[in-house]
């Protein structure tokens, strides 16, 4: 097991393919990627070898291909002035057009439900087409919108349509022959695309970044959150609780929307082209990157849990026989989804842990485990701590445990004092990141343990409570401190002990 450190998540490029046109729309089905490549039509790409995707077929559309949706043996293309194009892709190396419908506007985006295609048709608003017979598609219904329909999402018998400068239009399509607009809301910039999740609409708003709208009451949509981006937000997609944006020249963004009122950018990848389309499948993001074609990104750090531990060994040192020493092991979820710690098992005599139940850690959450060593005899002890989780790369991690049992030093519990040479230890010293500070107490006493800079200012309070007799270890991580000399100060049993620490970066 490799010890993970905070901030280890990253987006990694795994493959790319330069297409002949301008990659804009994208659809992924298994290992096959379909790219709407503007004037180069539909490109069909085999991405089973992620590092070396290969084009296996293409179809030249009569006008620019903006978006594509695939269902069964057919690919449905929004083809600008040429409307809806229906392509038989049962033989990917030889796709063939089997039907088309010339819409009155400029077809830009589409959504498919059953036998109906819903089209964002530019100046002609919403067009609804029956494709039950792909060779002979038929008009069903339409609704004119005030500006230029660009993006579309279908949910709960409603079409959510982005209408350029007229923002979001919400249309009841329970009767497809008579679609009825029931609500709308303007956005700050030309609205390009939309994704609906539960009661929230996430809108790619060009220069307005991401806009979040509460659509729980479709007749009264309300903007509740937003996030400014550095590019032109063109496409939006959601998967696994995370939102993904194609942000033009700013590339690919991952957004945390767990609090819809305060979306937060968690990572980005600066693509070489102009990111105009994005789809996510499993651990991979597929980006339509303009003149740079198809880009494939590994986002597994965000779509999987990732267990990270503060230590890969716990050495308790020397502990009096019959007494107990405790150390803290911190488990952190460095991944993008919930980490389930299914079990913690201790192997080895005289070691124990204070957990016996399943624990779920959300993204970036931590859990402190108290591990104890209570030797019953004199001698060296060896053991291990096994942690089982749903991290796909580390289903079980093991921590080495060690300690030495020694005879009591002759200190009587009723003594008021504490032996100076064993009360306070720091290891390693000098240190460059973290140091373990160990205290040994022969009886129950109130303890205050602090770290001071050499200017006398307290920089860390490690403990301030009653402790039972035993040995205790504290880990001080001096990430935000500069190199220099520090003093560890322990107050216990009415006395003070100090130890000089040297932090050397």
Q: How many CB atoms lie within 10 A of CB 81?
A: 14
Structure tokens at 358: 């399943």
Beta-carbon contacts of 404 under 8 Å, excluding residues fewer than 6 positions away, are 316, 317, 318, 319, 375, 379, 380, 381
**Residue 397 DSSP class:** E
Asked if residue 414 has a cis previous peptide bond (ω within 30° of 0), the answer is no
- pLDDT tens digits, one per residue of 30-65: 999 999 999 999 999 999 999 999 999 999 999 999
DSSP letters for 227-240: E--SS-B-EEEEET
pLDDT at residue 455, as a whole number: 63
User: What is the DSSP code string of 67-115?
Assistant: EEEEETTEEEEE-BTT-EEEEE-SSTTS-EEEEEE--SS-B-EEEEETT
Mean predicted confidence (pLDDT) in 462-473: 86
Q: In 3-state terms, the chain is what percent helix, strand and coil (to 5)?
A: 0, 55, 40
pLDDT of residue 322: 85
Question: What distance in Å separates the CA atoms of residue 64 and residue 38, rounded to the nearest whole number?
Answer: 4
Same domain, 115 and 252: yes
Q: How far apart are CA 369 and CA 328, in angstroms?
A: 6
443 in a structural domain? yes
Residue 198, sorted as left (phi over 0), alpha (psi -120 to 50) or beta, turns out to be left
The verdict on residue 4 lying in a domain is no
Q: How many domains does the chain have?
A: 3
At 222, is the pLDDT very low, low, confident or very high (cuts 50, 70, 90)? very high
Token pair recorded at residue 338: 């919930």
Which run of H or E residues covers position 474? strand 470-477
d(CA 200, CA 211): 10
d(Cα 493, Cα 129) in Å, to the nearest integer?
84
Q: 23 and 125 share a domain?
A: yes
Looking at 258, 285, 303, which one is the last position of a domain?
303
Is the bond leading into 428 cis (omega within 30 degrees of zero)? yes
| CA–CA gap between residue 336 and residue 189 (Å, rounded) | 30
Residue 148's alpha-carbon distances to 171, 206, 221, in angstroms, are: 15, 14, 20
Strand order in the sheet with 12-17: 12-17, 294-298, 284-288, 277-281
Q: Is residue 427 part of a domain?
A: yes
pLDDT at 178: 97
412 or 468: which leads in pLDDT: 468
Are 349 and 450 part of one and the same domain?
no
> Checking phi first, is residue 292 left (phi over 0); if not, alpha (psi -120 to 50) or beta?
alpha
Tell me the pLDDT of the chain averaged across its residues.
90
Rounded Cα–Cα distance for residues 239 and 303 (Å): 9
Residue 423, H or E segment: helix 420-423
Q: How far apart are CA 310 and CA 5, in angstroms?
A: 8
Q: Residues in the chain, how many?
A: 505
Q: Let me know: does 334 contact 306? Beta carbons within 8 Å.
A: yes
Q: What is the distance between the alpha carbons of residues 243 and 257, in angstroms, rounded to a whole number?
A: 7
Q: Which residue has the higher pLDDT, 447 or 206?
A: 206
Which tens digits make up the pLDDT trace of 68-85?
Answer: 999 999 999 999 999 999
Q: Which helix (H) or strand (E) holds 434?
A: strand 434-441
Q: Is the dihedral of CA 70, 76, 77, 80 positive or negative?
A: negative
- In 3D, which of 252, 237, 352 has the Cα closest to residue 295? 252
Which of 287, 303, 319 is a domain's end point?
Answer: 303
For 107-165, what is each residue's pLDDT tens digit?
A: 999 999 999 999 999 999 999 999 999 999 999 999 999 999 999 999 989 999 999 99
Q: Assess whether 51 and 186 both reside in one domain.
A: yes
Do 51 and 75 belong to one domain? Answer: yes
Tell me if 415 is assigned to some domain: no
2 domain residue, yes or no: no
User: How many alpha carbons lie under 13 Å from residue 12 in its C-beta half-sphere?
Assistant: 11
Per-residue confidence (pLDDT) for residue 331, from 0 to 100: 93
Pairing of strands 396-406, 313-320: parallel
Q: What is the pLDDT of residue 420?
A: 45
Which CATH number fits the domain that encloses residue 471?
Answer: 2.60.40.1930
248 and 311 belong to one structural domain? no
What does the pLDDT look like over 422-447, one tens digit per residue? 578 888 888 888 888 988 887 788 88
Element (H, E) at 421: helix 420-423
Q: What is the pLDDT of residue 494?
A: 66
Instruction: Map residue 245 onto helix, strand or coil.
Output: strand
Residue 233: other Cβ atoms inside 10 A: 29
Structural domain boundaries enclosing 366:
307-406
Query: Is 99 in the same domain as 169?
Result: yes
Q: Which of 13, 25, 85, 11 is nearest to 293 (CA)?
A: 25
Strands 264-269 and 252-256: antiparallel
Do residues 172 and 259 share a domain?
yes
CATH code, 323: 2.60.40.10
User: Residue 171: which of 212, 112, 118, 223 has the closest Cα?
Assistant: 118
The answer to the question of residue 413 being in a domain is no
Q: Which residues have a Cβ under 8 Å from the Cβ of 8 and sit 6 or more positions away?
A: 301, 306, 308, 334
Q: Are residues 331 and 398 in the same domain?
A: yes
**C-alpha 376: how far from chain center:** 46
Share of the chain above pLDDT 70, in %: 94
**CATH code for position 47:** 2.130.10.10
126, 154: one domain: yes
pLDDT of residue 419: 41
In 3D, which of 122, 27, 29 has the Cα closest to residue 77?
Answer: 27
Using 50, 70 and 90 to split pLDDT, how confident is the model at 417?
very low
Write down which residue in 303, 326, 350 finishes a domain. Answer: 303
What is the rounded distance in angstroms from the CA atom of residue 462 to the CA atom of residue 449? 5
5 domain-assigned: no
pLDDT digits (tens, 9 = 90+) for 243-259: 999 999 999 999 999 89
Q: How far is 175 from 115, CA to CA, in rounded Å?
A: 14
pLDDT reported for residue 408: 64
Q: What is the pTM of this model?
A: 0.71
- Is residue 136 domain-shared with residue 174, that is, in the same domain? yes
- State pLDDT tens for residues 268-310: 999 999 999 999 998 999 999 999 999 999 998 888 888 999 8
Q: What is the pLDDT of residue 128?
A: 98
Question: Would you say residue 7 lies in a domain?
Answer: no
Same domain assignment for residues 168 and 87: yes
Quote the percentage of the chain above a pLDDT of 90: 64
Give residue 47's pLDDT.
97
Q: Which of the four pLDDT bands, split at 50, 70 and 90, describes residue 5?
A: very low
């Amino acid at each position: 097991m490799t010890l993970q450190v905070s901030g280890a998540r990253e987006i990694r490029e795994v493959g790319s393919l330069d297409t002949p046109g301008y990659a804009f729309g994208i659809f992924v089905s298994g290992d096959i990627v379909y790219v709407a490549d503007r004037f180069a039509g539909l490109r069909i790409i085999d991405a089973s070898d992620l590092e070396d995707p290969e084009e296996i077929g293409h179809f030249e559309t009569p006008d620019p291909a903006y978006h594509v949706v695939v269902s069964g043996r057919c690919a449905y293309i929004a083809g600008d002035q040429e409307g809806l194009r229906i392509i038989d892709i049962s033989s990917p190396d030889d796709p063939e057009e089997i039907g088309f419908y010339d819409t009155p506007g400029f077809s830009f985006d589409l959504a498919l439900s059953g036998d109906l295609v819903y089209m964002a048709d530019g100046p002609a608003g919403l067009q609804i087409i029956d494709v039950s017979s792909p060779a002979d598609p038929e008009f069903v219904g339409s609704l004119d919108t005030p500006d230029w329909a660009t993006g579309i999402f279908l949910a709960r018998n409603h079409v959510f349509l982005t209408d350029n400068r007229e923002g979001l239009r919400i249309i009841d399509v329970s009767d497809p022959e008579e679609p009825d607009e029931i609500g709308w809301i303007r956005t700050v910039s030309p609205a390009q695309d939309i994704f609906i999740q539960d009661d929230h609409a996430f809108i790619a708003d060009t220069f307005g970044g991401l806009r979040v709208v509460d659509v729980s009451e479709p007749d009264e949509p309300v903007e509740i959150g937003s996030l400014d981006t550095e590019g032109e937000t063109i496409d939006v997609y959601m998967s696994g609780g995370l939102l993904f944006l194609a942000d033009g020249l700013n590339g690919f963004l991952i957004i945390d929307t767990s609090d819809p009122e305060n979306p937060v950018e968690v990572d980005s990848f600066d693509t070489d082209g102009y990111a105009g389309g994005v789809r996510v499948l499993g651990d991979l993001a597929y980006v339509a990157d303009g003149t740079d074609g198809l880009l494939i990104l590994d986002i597994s750090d965000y779509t999987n849990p990732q267990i990270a531990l503060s230590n890969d060994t716990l050495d308790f040192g020397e502990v009096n026989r019959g007494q107990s020493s405790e150390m803290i092991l911190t488990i952190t979820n460095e991944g993008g989804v919930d980490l389930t710690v299914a079990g913690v098992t201790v192997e080895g005599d005289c070691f124990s842990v204070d957990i016996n139940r399943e624990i779920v850690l959300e993204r970036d959450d931590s859990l402190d485990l108290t591990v104890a060593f209570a030797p019953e005899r004199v001698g060296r002890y060896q053991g291990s701590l096994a942690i089982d989780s749903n991290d796909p790369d580390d289903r079980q991690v093991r921590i080495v445990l060690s300690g030495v049992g020694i005879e009591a030093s002759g200190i009587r519990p009723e003594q008021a004092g504490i032996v100076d040479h064993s009360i306070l230890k720091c290891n390693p010293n000098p240190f460059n990141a973290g140091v373990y500070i160990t205290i040994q107490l022969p009886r129950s006493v109130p303890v205050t343990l602090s770290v001071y800079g050499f200017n006398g200012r307290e920089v860390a309070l490690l403990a301030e409570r009653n402790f039972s007799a035993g040995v205790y270890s504290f880990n001080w991580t001096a990430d935000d401190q500069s190199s220099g000399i520090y003093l560890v100060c322990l107050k216990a049993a009415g006395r003070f002990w100090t130890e000089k620490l040297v932090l050397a970066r």
